[in-house]
Amino acid sequence: MKKTTTRLADGRELIYYDSRDDVVRDAVDRRPLDPVATAAEIRADRLLGDRVAIASHRQARTYHPPADECPLCPSREGRHSEIPAADYDVAVFENRFPSLAGDRGRCEVVCFTPDHDASFADLTEDQAALVLAAWTDRTAELSQLPGVEQVFCFENRGAEIGVTLGHPHGQIYAYPFVTPRTERMLRSLADHREATGRNLFDDVLDDERADGRRIVLDGDHWTAFVPYAAHWPYEVHLYPKRRVPDLLALDDAARAEFPRLYLELLRRFDRIFDTDTDTGAGAPPTPYIAAWHQAPQRTAQRADFALHLELFTIRRTSGKLKFLAGSESGMNVFINDVPPEAAAERLREVASKP
């Protein structure tokens, strides 16, 4: 992998990740951009004990532009985008409309491919491996920034999720605090250690593999399963079999196997729903969120934390979405219409489909 760092016209950082060492990245951003001005702040909720990012400048962010005006495509034929080069493998840049900025963290955009009409599932294994390398490198870099406590790599896919740019891309948030979801995991981890003397993540993975009913994929170095208490209609957790705290700690064997298993998992997600119940036509691509959970930088439980990826869709059946209504949004008590065992069976079943 070759990494090239440059700057956009407004001073934001842009990093190219290339599979070939002989690629030269010297294209200049010629757009007349003003410096980025953000109004982001972090406010503490005294009742719930969590934090909210207030970022009013994001109201002006780009919203569902036509394909020929996509800011994540390469700059071609006289049209300038966020990526000045006429082509790229993987590109990462500071978000122009960040939720976190300055001493309150950082937000980056990860462009997986120059192909506007592709998806992550369309990548080759080599391309997916390059994205993994970019996630790993950004985790290493961002975790060293002053004040950053946790690095979160994720992908939102589909208009139903709230994606405003159709180009295949993900994001990375470098939080100046430990997120509430991770804090809950750390509390459960500590309680389990005190009660049993064992590691909670290890026990969860061992129990799922011993039960077997919710296993979707089981490789030499990774296991994908629908969790026993899945919150979402179709939800899969992907764990390396050797517990590590973050992407940097993965060994070469786990890195080599990840692209094949993850691409297979994404392709199965796109085959869950055969047809749209309203039109009878082939179902549209499955909307999903893919989220990497990594250990915070300065927790005493860092060595006990288990890196894992959580992949889920808000679609509960063809043409119908799972909405977070009163119980979920009001009280954070999820109600799942699809039994986890049935979801796992469906995800195993679609492996044989073309």
Catalytic positions, please? 169
In sequence order, what E strands does 158-287 have?
169-175, 215-218, 222-225, 234-240
> What φ, ψ does residue 258 adopt, rounded to 5°?
-55, -50
CA distance 306 to 293: 8
Residue 268 backbone dihedrals phi, psi, to 5 degrees: -70, -40
**Partners of 53 in the β-ladder:** 42
- Alpha-carbon torsion (158, 344, 319, 276), positive or negative: positive
Look up tokens 């959580």; give the residue: 310
Cα–Cα distances (Å) from 268 to 15, 166, 230, 347, in that order, read 31, 21, 18, 6
Cα(262)–Cα(301) distance, integer angstroms: 27
What does each C-alpha distance from 234 to 23, 242, 268, 336 come to in angstroms? 40, 25, 11, 9
